[in-house]
Chains A and B, each alone.
Chain A
């Protein structure tokens, strides 16, 4: 293991996702183009793009909780993904933005791009439930 502050889940590692950078203290996740993430020939699969968005979103929530000194666990409630451009056969990046962090839930927007961050290939809107550790009540 490297000294990454947040270790990516097995699903993310299987798709070769890594933390490549930080923007305002929030991890930027990178995903190389491989056969494993390909949909129609030469393009990323929508599910793989969504996966990248989710990993970026989760990393952003963890970072936001960490900044508050919280050790709460999170649980995803839903996600809406807008696919705006075809993902080409190249490196893709994603970063999440926690637009609101409350006591019971977090609103997150995540953006995926390739060459130009101002030209997203997809955006995700997610809601996460925040659960205090060792508490089963939702």
Chain B
């Protein structure tokens, strides 16, 4: 396999129904997503849930085994990004403009971490997202996220 992941734009052509499970097979299995080994968990009309298994090399503090907080950022970045395409029903090129994460509690040693990204508003240029991370019970979140993505390239004027 060549360096990195395939170009999503060529694999998910415009007008094709967006399938988060299929797309995660690329985003979650190559590059940084592949390093973290992100798995597709589920999706709805405007949300996508992904998960990462706890691993020793993703730890911030070897004494406690607590996951590095940046792992949560990557998870929420991918889940929220995919929630935009899911709400839109198709892929469009975009980049993260900003992302904020509030860490309510650490993700404990050995625990799988789930990230649900929700696109709550979409304009022609901007996708507004929020989301949360948990360890299996969505009622007990470990982090909250909010951010924006900006559309790039192929802009229709």
Interface residues of A (CB under 8 A from B): 9-15, 35-42, 45-48, 50-51, 54-55, 75-83, 86
Interface of A is mostly: mixed
Asked whether, in the complex, the Cβ of A11 is within 8 Å of the Cβ of B4, the reply is: no
Asked whether, in the complex, the Cβ of A14 is within 8 Å of the Cβ of B58, the reply is: yes
**When the two chains form the complex, which single residue of B32, B71, B75, B100 contacts A80, counting CB atoms closer than 8 Å?**
B100
Asked whether, in the complex, the Cβ of A51 is within 8 Å of the Cβ of B68, the reply is: yes
Asked whether, in the complex, the Cβ of A82 is within 8 Å of the Cβ of B97, the reply is: yes
State whether the Cβ of B99 lies closer than 8 Å to any Cβ in chain A.
Answer: yes
**When the two chains form the complex, which single residue of B5, B73, B102 contacts A47, counting CB atoms closer than 8 Å?**
B73
Asked whether, in the complex, the Cβ of B98 is within 8 Å of the Cβ of A81, the reply is: yes
Asked whether, in the complex, the Cβ of A10 is within 8 Å of the Cβ of B103, the reply is: no
* Docked pose: A127 CA to B10 CA in angstroms: 40
**When the two chains form the complex, which single residue of A39, A78, A81 contacts B103, counting CB atoms closer than 8 Å?**
A78
State whether the Cβ of B22 lies closer than 8 Å to any Cβ in chain A.
Answer: no
Q: Given A38-B4, A51-B74, A82-B98: A10 and B33 within 8 A (CB)?
A: no
State whether the Cβ of B7 lies closer than 8 Å to any Cβ in chain A.
Answer: yes
* Docked pose: A37 CA to B5 CA in angstroms: 12
* Docked pose: A54 CA to B69 CA in angstroms: 8
Asked whether, in the complex, the Cβ of B32 is within 8 Å of the Cβ of A38, the reply is: yes
Cβ-Cβ contact count across A and B, 8 Å cutoff: 122
Task: Count B-side interface residues using an 8 Å CB cutoff.
Answer: 40
Given contacts A35-B34, A45-B74, 16 further A-B contacts (CB under 8 A): A9-B68, A10-B57, A11-B57, A11-B59, A15-B35, A38-B3, A38-B32, A45-B31, A45-B33, A47-B74, A77-B103, A79-B73, A80-B98, A80-B99, A83-B95, A86-B95
Asked whether, in the complex, the Cβ of A11 is within 8 Å of the Cβ of B31, the reply is: no
Asked whether, in the complex, the Cβ of A41 is within 8 Å of the Cβ of B73, the reply is: no
* Docked pose: A13 CA to B3 CA in angstroms: 21
State whether the Cβ of B41 lies closer than 8 Å to any Cβ in chain A.
Answer: no
User: What residues of B have a CB within 8 angstroms of the CB of A78 in the complex?
Assistant: 100-103
State whether the Cβ of B61 lies closer than 8 Å to any Cβ in chain A.
Answer: yes
User: What residues of A have a CB within 8 angstroms of the CB of B122 in the complex?
Assistant: none
4 closest Cβ pairs, A-B complex? A47-B74, A51-B70, A45-B32, A11-B68
User: What residues of B have a CB within 8 angstroms of the CB of A35 in the complex?
Assistant: 3-4, 30-31, 34-35
Asked whether, in the complex, the Cβ of A83 is within 8 Å of the Cβ of B96, the reply is: yes
Give the interface centre of B33, B67, B99 by most chain A CB atoms within 10 Å: B99
